[in-house]
């Protein structure tokens, strides 16, 4: 049974050669989507409010502007997001997952539709007696 399935699969790939090049199309679509998504991600993550941390410990750090070691204001900075911005970031992350899986499912559906249609027609073009919307 398994060998006959592999024989038919090899025959389908040999006859329907578009199946070999087809995965390039979803790859290009996903690459463009991910570039757009990454730029939107950078915009969202940089939208927070930068606040200097309040620390009472005595620490020293190298100051790049004055090019010397400074012992004041060395506890760093953090970014504070509003609740709406946090929700937008979570929605954006979920949207990336959803859209990626949608593109993958669409490409799988195309392949899953082309292989059985070839198998059941045995490589012959379907014979349509008349167009769909004309009376017979």
Per-residue pLDDT tens, the chain, 136 aa: give them.
Answer: 889 888 888 888 888 888 888 889 999 999 999 999 999 999 999 998 988 777 766 677 777 777 777 666 567 778 899 999 999 999 999 999 999 999 999 999 988 888 887 777 775 666 656 555 655 5
pTM to 2 decimal places: 0.66
Q: Which domain does 73 fall in, by range?
A: 14-117
In a domain, 54, yes or no: yes
In a domain, 64, yes or no: yes
In a domain, 75, yes or no: yes
Q: Return the closest-CA partner of residue 72 out of 85, 81, 64, 63.
A: 63
In a domain, 129, yes or no: no
Judging by beta carbons within 10 Å of its beta carbon (0-12, 13-18, 19+), is residue 63 exposed, middle or buried? middle
In a domain, 23, yes or no: yes
Domains held by the chain: number: 1
Tokens of 77: 């900075």
In a domain, 1, yes or no: no
């Amino acid at each position: 049974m398994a060998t006959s399935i592999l024989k038919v699969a090899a025959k389908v790939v040999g006859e329907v050669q578009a199946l070999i090049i087809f995965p390039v199309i979803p790859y290009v679509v996903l690459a463009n989507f991910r570039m757009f998504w990454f730029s939107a991600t950078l915009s969202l993550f940089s939208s927070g409010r930068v606040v200097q941390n309040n620390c009472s410990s005595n620490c020293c750090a190298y100051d790049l502007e004055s090019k010397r070691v400074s012992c004041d204001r060395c506890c760093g900075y953090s970014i504070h997001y509003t609740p709406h911005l946090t929700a937008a970031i979570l929605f954006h992350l979920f949207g990336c997952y959803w859209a990626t899986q949608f593109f993958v499912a669409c490409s799988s559906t195309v392949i899953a539709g082309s292989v059985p249609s070839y198998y059941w027609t045995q490589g012959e073009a379907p014979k349509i007696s008349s167009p769909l919307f004309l009376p017979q």
